[in-house]
Structure 1
Amino acid sequence: MSGLLPLFLRAVARVAACLASRPAATAAAATVLYHGGALPRNPRLERLVCHELLDGDGGDNYVLHFAVAVMRSLG
């Protein structure tokens, strides 16, 4: 169990850092919708997307990757 804690803390720290620079609900929702294919490819909407949430150091934000995978499977 202690082996998963560093992965979780690193992912939470990355999300918190990214959301601190943007409105929290907007950045997380826009990121999941954009990468899930439900948000149109519009430059004005794309500035709300926080690519660092998914494409960070090791791509270890499993919660958001799961949400994006669910969005892709629904669409």
Structure 2
Amino acid sequence: MTSDKTADQLRQELKDVDEELAELRRLTGDVTARRGRSSDTSIELQEPEEVATELTGLAETEAVIDVLEQRRERIEAQLKELG
């Protein structure tokens, strides 16, 4: 229930979620940027398995981002209820 947490606790939780989202978005941006490099400028060649692993990790990170965004919305709703 929303009465279990104070507004300050919810604001701190919201801050923590925002920080985690920012870090995950930075990581996905880094991976996406590396994937966008042309092979001419790439220092190392990747094996298909490495590419698949990287893409799977990216998909998993994006799924975590979705969950955190939903959590963020719930926290904001709880804060709104507290007034």
TM-score between both structures, scaled by the size of structure 1: 0.38
Larger Rg belongs to: 2
TM-score between both structures, scaled by the size of structure 2: 0.35
Between the two structures, name the one with larger relative contact order (CA 8 Å, sep ≥ 6). 2
